[in-house]
Structure 1
Amino acid sequence: MAGIRPLTMSAISAVIAAWAYFGMPHAPIVVALAVLGIVAQFPHHIWRLLKSPRLSLFASGSPAGTFIVPRAILAFAGYLVAQSSTLEVLWLIGFYFVLGAELTIRALADRVVPVARNLPGYRLRDSLVLDPAWAYLISSLALLLWPLRDSFPWLHAGTTVMLAVAGLLTVFLIADASRLILRRRATSTQLQAALNAYEPRFLLHWQAPKGTSYQVSMWLPYLEQTGHPYFILLRSPENFDEIARLTNRPILLRESLSTLDDVMVPSLHAALYVNTATVNNHMVRYREVTHIQLNHGDSDKAPSYNPSFRAFDRNFVAGQAAIDRFAANGISTTSDFFEIVGRPQVASVQLPVSPISAVSQPTVLYAPTWQGFYQDTDYSSLEFAEAIVQTLLFEGYRVIFRPHPYSRKNQKHRPLIERVNAILAADPRDHVYGRAATEAEIFDLFNESDLLIADLSSVVSDYLASTKPIVLVRRETSEDVSRTLGSACYELDVASGTLDKTAFAGLLSTIRADDPLSGRRTDVSAYYLSDVPAEGHAQLFVDTLDKYLS
């Protein structure tokens, strides 16, 4: 759509320009409506500008620099529909200057990115004083009114004033952005001085697509429990604001490999990671610190035993299952590579008050995973979600539908999610879905449910801590699921490409009747999550990490 909409608007504008040139009636009104249509594409920007106490949005979130060709054509069309004069030619030239300057603003503003926040001793401003959207809105409003100037003479002066204001804004924004960029390049000394004074003991290095901050947030409470000063090192501007909302700890942004030297102060002992992003390779080259992979979940998925883990000095894992998984898949490691630290996040997971057979209306947490980056890591059952949920409703279950956050970014899976949400919305029972489910803590949903239905993912491993029944959806006949995990989960096999609702209903009846795998889950939980009591996982993690921070 980003490419199609401007092209469509350009074609419409060209037709309007020709219409105006040949003196068609009502052309000024049509031109005005067309411009209004462009402005109307961005009502949310007007709202954000009005409600935001700091007008400091990135240009990437601003309409500035968009629809350049349509607005240029419409301005010329507006010139044609009235008597041409020297003043109107000057107005048109001025408008084209403002229009072209928007591209400069956008290019510069995209480079105005934060350097550091919450770092004691570092005080440089890291955002524009005004949002570039203002230049867009004022110049577009002038363009909207300009074709009507012959009908309303006062618009001659009014549109000229608006255009002058837009011009001054563009000059100011270009100057402000240029100043910030040049100043940022001279901040290396101040940044290093502030970091040296702060004396961080470790850093958390992170880069991931926007909307993935859960990878970081799940570890923050336990990093705080170490009692050591640390900072979060980001590599992409799009991650900055979402991480800044999570913590008061210093946050630094270093986009290029060459700028990482600035943050490697002598007090650092370790660098932590919560995923296997490619840019992690930029950091692991610093051998003066210990590089520790925490990851953001443990499962039998192929990414959990990726050979790239060997780039790190240590791999903190939940239990023995993770260690055996590497060996079972031929990934050799050094004898001191793994540290079993439990899974601190499961400390809040509650054991059931009574078995599922004693619950009159059980609640099912259905948490399908996402499709992965590659075909061989696609474990998602979302194509069967509608049939799964319909069966659950028919069998009398209350449903919590929590798809993986990445799934909504997939054009194939987004409508599947919406269909399931619609089914649950139409049912009179108190189901949880949509934002209510996605914004809730996953471990709170564990406690609210009596049964889990999920694909192969860390959700399954974590749910073992609850000792409640688990139905594992098997899309493929692959051997990714270990025999140990398989022995603790009921299997819903959809490898044939269809869901047998009758067999699924029978499986649910078996679970509710006597739950024959109840005892087995306790043993497998210790294998995947360590045999340390849940309340001791956090301390085990803190104590283990502390060994590498002194």
Structure 2
Amino acid sequence: MLAGAFVAQVVGALLPNTLLLAVATAVGLATDAALHRWQRRTVTLLAKAHADVTVRQLLRDLLLVVGLLRIEQQSQESVFLPVVIGLLVLYALHFTVQAVSVKVRRSRTLPFVTRNIDASALRLSSAPPSLLTRRAGHRLLAFGAPATLGLLVTAIVDDGLPSAVGVAVSVTLMAVGLVRLALHLLPSRRPVSEAEALAWLDAWLAEYRPTVGMYFSGGTTSAYQANMWLEPLAALDGRPVIVLRERFMVQKIAATDIPVICLPKVATLMRLEHSTLRMMIHPANSGKTSQILRVPTIKHAFVNHGESDKLSSCNPYAKAYDEVWVAGPAARERYALADVGIDDRDVVEVGRPQLDPVLPYAGPPSGTYTTVLYAPTWEGWDGNPGNTSVVLAGENIVRSLLADPGVRLLYKPHPMTGSVDPRAGAANERIQAMIREANRRRPATSGPTVDAAELARRTAELERATSSSFRAAADDVERMLAQGEPDSGRAAEVERATAAWDAAYWGSFDEAQHQIITAARPGIFSCFNQADVLISDVSSVVSDWLASEKPYAVANTSGMTEDEFRAAFTTVRAATILAPAGDGVPGLLAAVRDPGQDTLVKDRAELKLHLLGPSDPPSVSRLRDAARALEQKTLLRGTARPEAPASGIPTQRDHLAAADTADPAEAAPSPS
């Protein structure tokens, strides 16, 4: 439509044909607006082809001018010359605004970003509207619309006044925007310099004195990997801090009272060497992880973002860390069998503290429907057909489930499904279409127990509780020093709001309706508590599900026989194995509904202990013990930072000197 509009506009300008020119211009404007609203990928491709919105709008306006001059056969050139000059001024202002916006962004870009830290000393101010600073295409479309519409009206009514008025309005809007931006370059509106900002960061680290931290770097869809470790991190002794590397990730970290620091540059990251940090946990590997591992004053523990039998769960990169913290004995064995260079003495079993919200098995389904959670994983990077069941088995499994009138299906695909293999994305879309069609054919029963207004109210409460806005008490050093740990007020508030929202969400549907869950809420553990049985792939979802000891099934799309599959993957040893055809679904449902047919109860209990470790002592306690022990190793190595003196932050040389003169007897660990 966009290409056709330009062709029609050229024809209308050259003929000339007033109606064709007017319609083509209007269609082009509407199509451009629609592209920016619904087809961002197409807009990006056009920009790569050097046909961005500025070029398109300029061409559109010039074709209007050509059409006007052709219509008047040059007889009113004196009328349209000011209009042409006005258009030139408009575009000159547009490019000037773009140049100033770059300067404003650079002047406002500090070497780090923070959350939950009182950064008022940095003289931060509200940012200019994004229409002026980052959305150049939207700005030209919005501010240039009066000029384009004025030219369009002139072409229709054969009067030069509308075009003159439209151009004047557009020039005025662009000039006001330029002044609005320029005000942010005044000395009083600028934040502190980079040197002052870094000095402030050093002073804050010296005052807050963090001892434990979490390091995270990743893509736009990977924040869930860090978010699952927020509560366990907050439960550790000391004053924790979260260190990020990508600016966009600051807003993707979920609600927490833990101070967050984003350090994009390596040079800024290295300043942590002069802090009191003693150990950091790492939920994921990334290319930037090696940068923080260079800091010799910090010990590092890899905790992973989930445990499964995939090769990624015993990545050779793990040997770069000082310790590898795993849930239970199964992961220890996995690393030993993988032979990737991990010393067994560096593997520490801490359990899975995130699994506290998972409710235990309460027996077979007691209601009208058996709720089945189908939560397949994504296709991965290596093209292995056994990674995900979506491509080869997903539709067959869902078809079998929907054929049972007593099943209520919860479908929760991995958020990265289809990101590598288009076949997985297409299969995911077909599965969702099947579920929607089944809902249309299925009659309602009792109806929802919670109305839309109640759900909206609970949603608003949860959004307030999980807001990333600054809270003045989040880094109150004196309070933390007095209490010995961060304030749990936000965590308790989030827990209450989440529980209320979950209850409202599940109550807002008719109990007979299947659900497609692709948003961040409800979380996977909330889905666990709704479901009677899980169907998944070889993934950490299976390991976590075992905390409930409910029945589960794993799809085998690897090409192995069932015996080979059970021998290869520990997590499936207590599972019902489903072939790609999905013909094992009826037997699975029968075992879920009739405890007499469920022959895997004992196997699930034993596998839970093997995968997740014992429930006593609690996982949170074991995590704290592991953190204390790793901190102690840092102290014994002589590279940990002592208490920062009042005069400043100690240097690496100070610590090496302290280590050289330390009394060996004083450094020996106590019997406790």
Aligned to 1:49: none
| 2:306–2:540 CA contact under 8 A, matched in 1 | yes
Residues 278-297 of structure 1 mapped to structure 2, 5 A cutoff: 278-297=287-306
d(CA) in 1 for partners of 2:5 and 2:586? 55
Counterpart of 2:396 in structure 1: which amino acid? Answer: A
| 1:292–1:315 CA contact under 8 A, matched in 2 | yes
Aligned to 1:404: 414
Aligned to 2:608: 525
| 1:128–1:173 CA contact under 8 A, matched in 2 | no
Counterpart of 1:192 in structure 2: which amino acid? Answer: D
Of the three residues 152, 177, 180, the one matched with 1:148 is 152
Residues 311-326 of structure 1 mapped to structure 2, 5 A cutoff: 311-326=320-335
d(CA) in 2 for partners of 1:253 and 1:172? 29
Deviation at 1:288, TM superposition (A): 0.7
Residues 194-343 of structure 1 mapped to structure 2, 5 A cutoff: 194-243=204-253, 245-343=254-352
Of the three residues 349, 373, 381, the one matched with 2:358 is 349
Does residue 37 (structure 1) correspond to residue 36 (structure 2)? The answer is no
- Cα distance, 1:473–1:308 mapped onto 2, change above 3 Å: same
Does residue 374 (structure 1) correspond to residue 382 (structure 2)? The answer is yes
Tell me whether 401-410 or 101-110 shows the greater mean CA deviation: 101-110
d(CA) in 2 for partners of 1:194 and 1:340? 34
Counterpart of 1:70 in structure 2: which amino acid? Answer: R
Local SS of the residue matching 1:339: strand
Aligned to 2:630: 548
- Cα distance, 1:398–1:261 mapped onto 2, change above 3 Å: same
| 2:282–2:302 CA contact under 8 A, matched in 1 | yes
Of the three residues 133, 143, 150, the one matched with 1:139 is 143
Counterpart of 1:128 in structure 2: which amino acid? Answer: A
- Cα distance, 1:434–1:313 mapped onto 2, change above 3 Å: same
TM-score by length of 1: 0.84
Tell me whether 134-143 or 437-446 shows the greater mean CA deviation: 134-143
- Structure 2: runs of 5 or more not aligned: 40-50, 69-75, 443-510, 633-672
Q: Which has the larger radius of gyration?
A: 2
Residues 376-455 of structure 1 mapped to structure 2, 5 A cutoff: 376=384, 379-383=387-391, 384-395=393-404, 396-407=406-417, 409=419, 411-425=422-436, 426-427=438-439, 428=442, 430-435=512-517, 438-455=520-537
Residue by residue, what CA displacement relative to the aligned partner does 1:58-99 show, whole Å, maximum 9, x if unpaired?
xxxxxxx95121111012112223354431232121232244
Aligned to 1:493: 579
Aligned to 2:547: 465
| 2:123–2:190 CA contact under 8 A, matched in 1 | no
Aligned to 2:172: 164
d(CA) in 2 for partners of 1:138 and 1:394? 52
- Cα distance, 1:206–1:341 mapped onto 2, change above 3 Å: same
Aligned to 2:55: 69
Residue by residue, what CA displacement relative to the aligned partner does 1:190-223 show, whole Å, maximum 9, x if unpaired?
2222222222222221122213322122111121
Counterpart of 1:473 in structure 2: which amino acid? Answer: A
Does residue 13 (structure 1) correspond to residue 20 (structure 2)? The answer is no
| 1:142–1:163 CA contact under 8 A, matched in 2 | no
Give the share of equivalent positions with the same residue, in percent. 24
d(CA) in 1 for partners of 2:103 and 2:603? 60
d(CA) in 2 for partners of 1:103 and 1:378? 49
- Cα distance, 1:327–1:232 mapped onto 2, change above 3 Å: same
Between 1 and 2, higher relative CO (CA 8 Å, sep ≥ 6) is seen in 2
| 2:386–2:556 CA contact under 8 A, matched in 1 | no
Residue by residue, what CA displacement relative to the aligned partner does 1:260-307 show, whole Å, maximum 9, x if unpaired?
123444211112211111111111111110111111101101100000
Tell me whether 207-216 or 481-490 shows the greater mean CA deviation: 481-490
| 1:191–1:262 CA contact under 8 A, matched in 2 | no
| 2:400–2:582 CA contact under 8 A, matched in 1 | no
Deviation at 1:126, TM superposition (A): 7.2
- Cα distance, 1:276–1:105 mapped onto 2, change above 3 Å: farther
Local SS of the residue matching 1:72: helix
Of the three residues 587, 599, 614, the one matched with 1:506 is 587
Local SS of the residue matching 1:407: coil
d(CA) in 2 for partners of 1:44 and 1:102? 26
d(CA) in 2 for partners of 1:320 and 1:126? 52
d(CA) in 2 for partners of 1:492 and 1:511? 15
- Cα distance, 1:277–1:10 mapped onto 2, change above 3 Å: same
Residue by residue, what CA displacement relative to the aligned partner does 1:154-194 show, whole Å, maximum 9, x if unpaired?
55234313323213424643774898699457522222222
Local SS of the residue matching 2:515: coil
d(CA) in 2 for partners of 1:378 and 1:71? 49
Counterpart of 2:601 in structure 1: which amino acid? Answer: S
Residue by residue, what CA displacement relative to the aligned partner does 1:228-273 show, whole Å, maximum 9, x if unpaired?
2222222122212222x52233222222222212344421111221
Does residue 125 (structure 1) correspond to residue 156 (structure 2)? The answer is no
Deviation at 1:370, TM superposition (A): 0.6
- Cα distance, 1:480–1:268 mapped onto 2, change above 3 Å: farther
Does residue 95 (structure 1) correspond to residue 73 (structure 2)? The answer is no
d(CA) in 2 for partners of 1:360 and 1:201? 52
d(CA) in 2 for partners of 1:373 and 1:354? 38
Tell me whether 173-182 or 311-320 shows the greater mean CA deviation: 173-182
Deviation at 1:340, TM superposition (A): 0.6
d(CA) in 2 for partners of 1:10 and 1:97? 26
| 1:453–1:471 CA contact under 8 A, matched in 2 | yes
TM-score by length of 2: 0.70
Counterpart of 1:381 in structure 2: which amino acid? Answer: S
- Cα distance, 1:422–1:320 mapped onto 2, change above 3 Å: same
| 1:145–1:159 CA contact under 8 A, matched in 2 | no
Instruction: Tell me how many residue pairs correspond in the alignment.
Output: 516
| 1:291–1:314 CA contact under 8 A, matched in 2 | yes
- Cα distance, 1:120–1:169 mapped onto 2, change above 3 Å: same
d(CA) in 2 for partners of 1:508 and 1:196? 59
| 2:328–2:349 CA contact under 8 A, matched in 1 | yes
- Cα distance, 1:284–1:103 mapped onto 2, change above 3 Å: same
Deviation at 1:100, TM superposition (A): 3.3
| 1:235–1:255 CA contact under 8 A, matched in 2 | yes
d(CA) in 2 for partners of 1:302 and 1:480? 15
Local SS of the residue matching 1:412: helix
| 2:307–2:540 CA contact under 8 A, matched in 1 | yes
Counterpart of 1:476 in structure 2: which amino acid? Answer: S
Deviation at 1:391, TM superposition (A): 0.5
Deviation at 1:322, TM superposition (A): 0.7
| 1:31–1:147 CA contact under 8 A, matched in 2 | no
Of the three residues 24, 31, 39, the one matched with 2:17 is 24
| 1:35–1:140 CA contact under 8 A, matched in 2 | no
| 1:381–1:473 CA contact under 8 A, matched in 2 | yes
